A and B are shown apart, each in its own frame.
Chain A
Amino acid sequence: MYDYVVIGAGIVGSFIARELSKYDLKALVVEKENDVANVQTLANSAILHSGHNPKPNTLKSRLCLLGNKMYNDVEKELNIQILRSGAFVVAHGESEEKQLAELVETTKQNNVTEYELLSYEEAVKTEPNLAKSVTQVLSLPTTGVIYPWEVAFACMENAIVNGVEFRKNAEVTNLIKDSGTFKITINDKDIVESKYVINATGVNTDDIAEMLEKHVDFKITPRKGEYFVLDKRVKGFVNHVLYPLPTNKGKGVLLTPQVHGNILVGPDSKFVDDKYRTDNTNSGLGYVKENASLLADNIPFNQIIRSFAGIRATSTKEDFIIEESKEIKGLYHTAGIDSPGLTAAPAIAEYLVNEIMMVQDKYDTSKDFDPIRKKLPEFHSLPEEKQRELIKQDSRYANIICKCEKITEKEIVDAINGPLGSNSIKGIKKRTRAGAGLCQGGYCEEKVYKLIARETNSSPLDIVYDSQKSNLFVSETKVKK
């Protein structure tokens, strides 16, 4: 019997798991995907928003501001990377400048204290490619950019080290409450029992709620967003996150410098019926291209290395839903976590655990909790001296597997074998960036699958790209047979 079962290992589930690992309790996280951070956390803008935009006096406003600040500790404890880029919200001409003035009011009401209005001339000094049509910008220096997968991995890894159990490829297929105990059916066969259940399933939060509740008072209305990725060779093309003025559809098409030097262009925003479908469309990508040009001039679209789409778990309620189920005691929802969910995630976890679930009143704090997650070396970013030292310790650091991102054999082996190791090509890419560069795995996928086969002692026929059934190969060739 578990005390808590967390359903969903996106960034919210991962932060909740870590928060729970601070107490003497038995917790399990179940994830239907073959990896942590594989749906909404996989594909988004990666921004730590300052908190300027949410409607004042909402959970979004409060938890975004708090989350942004909490990331300072998260950075130190979990050794994650934050690009402290700052952001510019841009206005073109008089009428947009009026809207920008309104946004300044919202910013103040949201208690964001660091902001500044700049003229085009002032802004262009630090953002040389800013579109010449821009007349004024709102500078938001506390805005940052993270690497969302890394944050989720770091949280979950730290939670696991501190005693939380984690099961991937574990889809909750039924959920009942029987004489005070939750019985959670996994993959239609195993049943695990728990005192409490936390529903952190992103786009599936309404489906999970419906397993137990008669009248679920929210519905997920998924919104898809499409993006382009520009190669890291464009690093420095923009230095800040560039936002247009927000509309009722959200924050609009952005230009976002990424932690590793790439630039994200997007997203658009479209309500979609299928919560599992993250396809790219001509219209979506066309919209992104057109609107991005309002932010910066001469965007190097010839450096596109990938396009993708993500899904936002927007709900029928405007605000985050972080509460105990109104019908079922002991079932907690974190639903409707769309933007600024990534920013708010650490605050959402703390709010849920300490203000809604009151875990601190039910369980002792764990004496063994170690908040520090040691980061394995990111070889290519180290000074040469340090690199030589590492090679001396382990010669596999001298074997470059991914040429574009300069990822070594040792880093890939660690990603396969670590506490939250992965045996999929995509899992290795998410952990190490092998295959995330210019050639998109053309050079290294072959080397990575062989390392996975070697380390896990399995046949190449069993190596998967992502899900357990996405095998790279269908058979051996005639000669090989």
Chain B
Amino acid sequence: MRKEIIVVGGGASGLAAALAAKKEGRDVLLIEREDRLGGILNQCIHNGFGLQVFKEEYTGPEYADKYIQEFLQSDIPYYLDTTVTNVDKLDDGFEITFSSTKTGMKKIQADALIMSTGCYERTRGSIIMPGDRPYGVITAGSAQRYLNIDGYMVGKNVFILGSGDIGLIMARRMHLEGANVLGVAELMPYSNGLTRNIVQCLNDFDIPLFLSHTVTQVNANKNQRLESIIIQQVDKSFKPIEGTEKKFEVDTLLLSIGLIPDITLLDNLEVEKDNRTKSVKINQSYQTSVPGIFICGNSLQVHDLVDNVSLESERAGKCASKYVLSKKIERKTVNIIAGNNLLFVTPHYIDFASEAKNVVFQFRSKTKIAKSMLKISQKDNEIKSKRINYVVPAEMESISIPLEEFNDLDDVVLDLEVL
């Protein structure tokens, strides 16, 4: 069996990409690992979704449903409860292996793949957190799933490490479910969550936020359940300051310490990686360094707003469709470089043979800047400058520039200057 495009993942990103490709007339198949479409939105029962795309505020499941209904009406074939286990590159496309109880193990070929595989949560293992290793130290997203989908509370007395959005949302959610939420600690001197979440999830419920603090000790009881934690203030180099210890007796420590794009399916292919986004490099049409493999959504870069995921994935779906028709892979590229004060920028290069005639830059700043000037330049040639007020690492910025404004010789540099 062969398809023009296979979309891996049926969350916000996969749904939008598949729909866009279908609208372009492509023959699409979508594969989803869980037993329902919608991905992580299904467990995000709070509101705040859709303001950009629908100009209305929805909950996660409501937002997902908008796309799911359209998807179901579009008659795009899809598999649920199905895991893609392997991706092989062929001379003229790809062969993926997938597996489910219903289908058994199957192989299917495609001209192009769209990876919309989302991200996974950083766990305790990826940071050094001294102390015992009891049960009760759980990633915030897992706890959210247990709470909102399965209907179980993971604890009664809760502390949260990391002020990412999931951590903030879970602080409120656990509080509303009757848990005693004792505080949120954030290593950085500023929060990593959206401002509205700080206000609506912490301030409104008098949950204290400890900036420049981290957990420095985890203690278990004799049943291997979390009993208490100690947090400490950190100095500018993130070293704990002696004498600032605060002890909290909690049975649950939720970790909201970052998300990592899930690109494990590309492990066997030689795809150029970006250490900053922890994903792969792309050109302005969301194509990776392996022609025919496209990537979008949180598997490309971790977004703070789902609306941006949908819009980005729609663009990726269109680009993949055009690729399938043209199969253009002659490459004349220039690099895009994240310059001053930028944590990262996507895309990573401009491909002048690509059919995407606009370059949508998405980037995050390294620090909070009250007044800044974004400058996009090639050598001495300034292509665009734009004043941006109040940039923070927690909020991804974007700007779109027509392809024709760039020359095909010099690296493109983005700088964020403090005014």
In this complex, how many residues of chain B approach chain A with their Cβ under 8 Å: the count is 49
- The answer to whether B177 touches A477 (Cβ under 8 A) is yes
Given contacts A400-B85, A446-B142, A470-B225, contact A391 B135 (CB under 8 A): no
Residue A478 lies at the interface, judged by CB distance under 8 Å to chain B: yes
- B126 near A399 (CB under 8 angstroms)? no
CB closest residue in chain B, given A466: B224
- What's the least CB distance linking B122 to chain A, in Å? 9
A387-B105, A473-B154 known; A439 vs B128 contact (CB < 8 Å): no
CB-based nearest A residue for B147: A477
Chain A 369-383, CB-CB to B under 8 Å as 1, else 0, gives 000000000000000
Evaluate contact between B135 and A305: CB separation under 8 angstroms: no
User: How far, in whole Å, are A460 and B147 apart by their CA atoms in the complex?
Assistant: 12
Smallest CB-CB separation from B265: which chain A residue? A403
On whether the beta carbons of B33 and A403 are closer than 8 Å, the reply is yes
Interface membership of A353, Cβ < 8 A: no
Interface hit among A131-139, A279-287, A324-332: A279-287
Complex Cα distance, B223 from A472, in Å, reads 12
B380 lies within 8 A of chain A by Cβ: no
Total A-B pairs in contact (CB under 8 Å)? 135
Q: Which residues from chain B contact A446 at a C-beta distance below 8 Å? A: 142, 145-146, 150
Most chain B C-beta atoms within 10 Å of own C-beta, residue among A276, A440, A469, A476: A440
Task: Decide yes or no whether B141 CB sits under 8 A from chain A.
Answer: yes
B152 at the interface (CB under 8 A from A): yes
- Cα A445 to Cα B178 in complex, Å, equals 24
Q: Which residues of B contact A387 (CB under 8 A)?
A: 105
**Interface code A326-342, partner B: CB below 8 Å = 1, 0 otherwise?**
00000000000000000
Contact with A along B70-87 (1 / 0, CB 8 A): 000000000001010100
A474 adjacent to B224 (CB under 8 Å)? no
Collect the chain A residues with CB atoms within 8 Å of residue B126's CB: 304-305
Give Cα distance in the complex from A229 to B177, angstroms: 36
Q: Could you tell me if A475 and B153 are in contact, using CB atoms closer than 8 angstroms?
A: yes
Q: How far, in angstroms, from A104 to B292 measured CA to CA in the complex?
A: 56
Q: Determine whether the beta carbon of A400 is less than 8 Å from that of B153.
A: no
Cα A209 to Cα B103 in complex, Å, equals: 58
Task: Kindly supply a per-residue 1/0 record for chain A positions 220-243, scoring 1 wherever the CB is within 8 Å of any chain B CB and 0 otherwise.
Answer: 000000000100010000000000
Q: Is B132 an interface residue (CB 8 A)?
A: yes
Cβ proximity bits A153-169 to B, threshold 8 Å, 1 near / 0 not: 00000000000000000
Residue B251 is within 8 A (CB to CB) of chain A in the complex: yes
**Least distance between A78 CB and chain B CB atoms (Å):** 29
**Size bracket, chain A contacts:** 35 or more
Interface residues of A in 382-401 (CB under 8 A from B): 384, 387-388, 391-392, 395-396, 398-400
Answer whether residue A467 sits at the interface, using C-beta atoms and an 8 A cutoff. yes
Partner of A304, one of B125, B132, B139, B178: B125
B131 at the interface (CB under 8 A from A): yes
Given known A473-B154, A476-B152, contact A399–B81 (CB-CB < 8 A): yes
Known: A280-B130, A404-B264. Is A465-B135 also a contact (CB below 8 A)?
yes
Q: Which one of A279, A395, A477 lies within 8 Å of B130 (CB-CB)?
A: A279
A264 to chain B, nearest CB (A): 13
- B133 contacts partner chain A, Cβ-Cβ < 8 Å: yes
Assess whether A76 is interfacial by the CB under 8 Å rule: no
Choose among A308, A443, A473, A477 the residue with the greatest number of B CB atoms under 10 Å from its CB: A477
Asked if B128 contacts A307 (CB within 8 A), the reply is yes
| CB-CB nearest in chain A for B176 | A478
CB distance from A260 to the nearest CB of B (A): 15
Closest to A308 in B: B133
B-side contacts of A305, CB under 8 Å = 123, 125-126
B130/A460 in contact, CB under 8 A: no
Residues from 441 to 475 in A contacting B, C-beta threshold 8 Å: 441-443, 445-446, 460-461, 465-475
Q: A229-B125, A438-B120 are in contact. Are A466 and B135 (CB under 8 A)?
A: yes
Tell me if B362 counts as interface (CB < 8 A to partner A): no
- Given known pairs A466-B224, A470-B225, the reply for A233 and B104 (CB within 8 Å) is no
Q: How far is the CA of A28 from the CA of B223 in the complex (A)?
A: 25
Contact of A474 among B139, B141, B251 (CB under 8 A): B251
Chain A residues whose CB sits within 8 angstroms of the CB of B100 once the complex forms: 398-399
- Asked if residues A470 and B125 are in contact (CB atoms below 8 Å), the reply is no
Give the complex CA separation of A451 and B272 in angstroms.
38
Determine if A367 is an interface residue (Cβ-Cβ < 8 Å): no
Contact of B327 with A by CB under 8 A? no
Chain B proximity mask over A171-184: 1 for CB below 8 Å, otherwise 0: 00000000000000
Instruction: Name B101's contact: one of A285, A392, A399 (CB within 8 Å).
Output: A399
- Cβ of B267 within 8 Å of any chain A Cβ, yes or no, is yes
Q: Which residue of B lies closest to A437 (CB)?
A: B264
Output the least CB separation between B144 and chain A (Å).
11
Closest to B117 in A: A403
Within 8 Å by CB of A439, from B104, B121, B156, B178, lies: B121
Cβ contacts under 8 Å, A276 to chain B: 222
- Which residues on the B side are within 8 Å of A443 (C-beta)? 120
Knowing A398-B101, A442-B123 are in contact, say whether A474-B128 is a contact too (CB < 8 A): no
A279-B132, A466-B224 are known contacts. Are A406 and B264 too (CB-CB below 8 A)?
no
CB <8 Å contact, A442 and B120: yes
Q: Known contacts being A439-B123, A442-B139, A460-B150, is A388 close to B224, with CB within 8 Å?
A: no
Q: How far apart are A263's CB and chain B's nearest CB, in angstroms?
A: 14
Q: CA of A476 to CA of B147 in the docked complex: distance in angstroms?
A: 8
CA distance A465 to B155 in the complex (A): 14
Instruction: Look across to chain B and name the residue whose beta carbon is closest to the beta carbon of A469.
Output: B223
Complex contacts, A306 vs chain B, CB 8 Å: 123-125
B130 and A400 contacting across the interface, CB-CB below 8 Å: no
A475 to B, closest residue via Cβ: B153
| Alpha-carbon distance A480/B177, docked complex (angstroms) | 11
Q: Contact between A282 and B146 (Cβ–Cβ < 8 Å)? A: no
Complex Cα gap A34–B354 (Å) = 59
Q: Which residues of A contact B151 (CB under 8 A)?
A: 476-477, 479-480
Q: Is B340 an interface residue (CB 8 A)?
A: no
Which residue in A308, A399, A465, A479 is a CB contact (below 8 Å) of B224?
A465
| A195–B264 alpha-carbon span in the complex (Å) | 56
Report if A278 contacts B (CB, 8 A): yes
Complex interface bits, B341-365 against A, C-beta within 8 A gives 1, otherwise 0: 0000000000000000000000000
B153 and A467 form a contact (CB under 8 A): no
Given contacts A391-B104, A460-B152, are A400 and B133 in contact (CB under 8 A)? no
A470 touches B224 (CB 8 A): yes
A277 neighbours in B (Cβ, 8 Å) = 132
B333 within 8 A of A: no
A277 to B132, CA, bound (A): 7
Quick check: is B99 within 8 A (CB to CB) of the other chain?
A: yes
A residues in contact with B264, CB < 8 Å: 403-404, 438
B125 & A473 in contact (Cβ 8 Å cutoff):
no
A468 to chain B, nearest CB (A): 8
Q: In the complex, what's the smallest C-beta–C-beta distance from A298 to chain B, in angstroms?
A: 14
For A403, the chain B residues whose CB sits under 8 A away are 33, 83, 264
Interface residues of A in 290-320 (CB under 8 A from B): 304-308
Complex contacts, A460 vs chain B, CB 8 Å: 150, 152
Determine the chain B residues whose CB is within 8 A of the CB of A391 once the complex forms. 99, 104-105
A246 to chain B, nearest CB (A): 27
Chain B residues with CB below 8 A from A398, complex form: 99-101, 103-105
In the complex, what distance in Å separates the CA atom of A399 from the CA atom of B153? 27
Q: How far is the CB of A53 from chain B (nearest CB, A)?
A: 29
Residue ID in chain A nearest B155 by CB atoms = A474
Contact B81 A476 (CB under 8 A): no
Instruction: Report A-chain residues with C-beta under 8 Å of the C-beta of B131.
Output: 279-280
Q: Give the docked Cα–Cα distance between A439 and B142 (Å).
A: 11
Q: Check B133–A280 contact: CB distance below 8 A.
A: yes
Q: Which 9 A-B pairs have the closest CB atoms?
A: A480-B151, A306-B125, A465-B135, A469-B223, A473-B152, A400-B83, A440-B123, A439-B120, A399-B101
Between A and B, 18 residue pairs with Cβ closer than 8 Å are A278-B133, A280-B131, A285-B128, A304-B126, A399-B100, A400-B33, A403-B33, A406-B85, A438-B264, A440-B123, A442-B120, A461-B152, A473-B152, A473-B154, A474-B156, A477-B151, A477-B153, A480-B152
